[in-house]
């Protein structure tokens, strides 16, 4: 297996306008996506954030330190060419939303889930006209098709870049409702992440923290917050 890694060849990365939006250049060379498409983003804020990531690279390129660039690549190479499929995949989370699956016990966990999750389900019912039902355990909870369609319709309003952010918000939290609440500023990203981890934090309180699990959660939390920032930067003024 080759251990070759791309090395820095540019001196300066800069953001600026281009046809269709904004782009980033490396010593006047426009950045391309992995699929060799032009990296054109909808806002200057997004282009500037990408330029900062490229400027921060040292001798060897480290994609793990470039979440905004990765998100933009995903929007151009994947979402733009598979929009309907990505929306359909994310919409399926509404039919198995984390917030709808409750513990049968103990009472302390039941109360914590209700306190954290019921207000968000009420928000979806009142703001999006999408009331989801709640059940105990892991058995599938059937939802009304019209409620699921209203949640899907919210995804359909998004641009390719906003959908790229939504993908991470939904998949990392396990909740379409929670992701929509973040995007509509009904809850802060930091609070939303804590809300999505009620079960895990309950277990930690009972049995103590596992170092590997804690390290994995920090990585996921950072990715969730990165996705929220990417969404904000993607929005047209």
Q: Which domains does the chain have, with CATH numbers?
A: 13-79 (3.30.2180.10), 83-234 (1.10.3580.10)
pLDDT, tens digit, 9 for 90 and up, residues 193-229? 999 999 999 999 999 989 999 999 999 999 999 999 9
Contacts of 149 (CB under 8 A, 6+ apart): none
Contacts of 93 (CB under 8 A, 6+ apart): 170, 171, 174, 175, 176
Report whether pLDDT(126) > 70.
yes
**Tell me, what's the pLDDT at 236?**
73
pLDDT category at 237 given cuts 50, 70, 90 is low
Global pTM reads 0.95
Helix (H) or strand (E) holding 22, with range, is strand 21-26
**Tell me, what's the pLDDT at 7?**
85
Q: Average pLDDT of 58-80?
A: 95
Q: Average pLDDT of 11-21?
A: 96
Q: Between 173 and 138, where is the model more confident?
A: 173
Instruction: Please give the share of the chain, as a percent, with pLDDT higher than 90.
Output: 92
- Mean pLDDT taken over the chain: 95
The token duo for 225 is 């917050």
pLDDT, tens digit, 9 for 90 and up, residues 220-233? 999 999 999 999 99
**Tell me, what's the pLDDT at 5?**
63
């Amino acid at each position: 297996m080759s251990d070759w890694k791309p090395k820095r060849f540019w001196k300066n990365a800069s953001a600026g306008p281009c046809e269709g939006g904004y782009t980033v250049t490396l010593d006047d060379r426009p950045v391309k996506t992995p699929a060799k498409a032009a990296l054109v983003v909808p806002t200057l804020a997004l282009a500037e954030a990408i330029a900062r990531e490229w400027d921060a690279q040292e001798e060897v390129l480290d994609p793990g330190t470039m979440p905004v660039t990765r998100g933009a690549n995903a929007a151009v190479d994947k979402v733009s060419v598979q929009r309907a499929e990505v929306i359909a995949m994310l919409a399926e989370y509404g039919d198995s939303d984390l917030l709808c699956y409750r513990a049968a016990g103990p009472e302390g966990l039941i109360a914590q889930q209700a306190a954290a999750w019921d207000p968000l389900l009420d928000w979806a019912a009142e703001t999006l006209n999408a009331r989801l039902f709640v059940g105990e355990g892991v058995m599938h909870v059937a939802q009304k098709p019209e409620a699921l369609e209203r949640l899907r319709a919210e995804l359909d309003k998004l641009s390719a870049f906003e959908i790229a952010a939504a993908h991470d918000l939904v998949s990392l939290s396990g909740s379409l409702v929670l992701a929509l609440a973040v995007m509509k500023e009904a809850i802060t990203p930091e609070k939303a992440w804590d809300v999505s981890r009620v079960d895990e934090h309950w277990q930690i309180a009972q049995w103590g923290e596992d170092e590997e699990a804690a390290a994995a959660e920090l990585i996921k939390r950072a990715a969730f917050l990165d996705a929220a920032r990417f969404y904000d930067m993607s929005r047209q003024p």
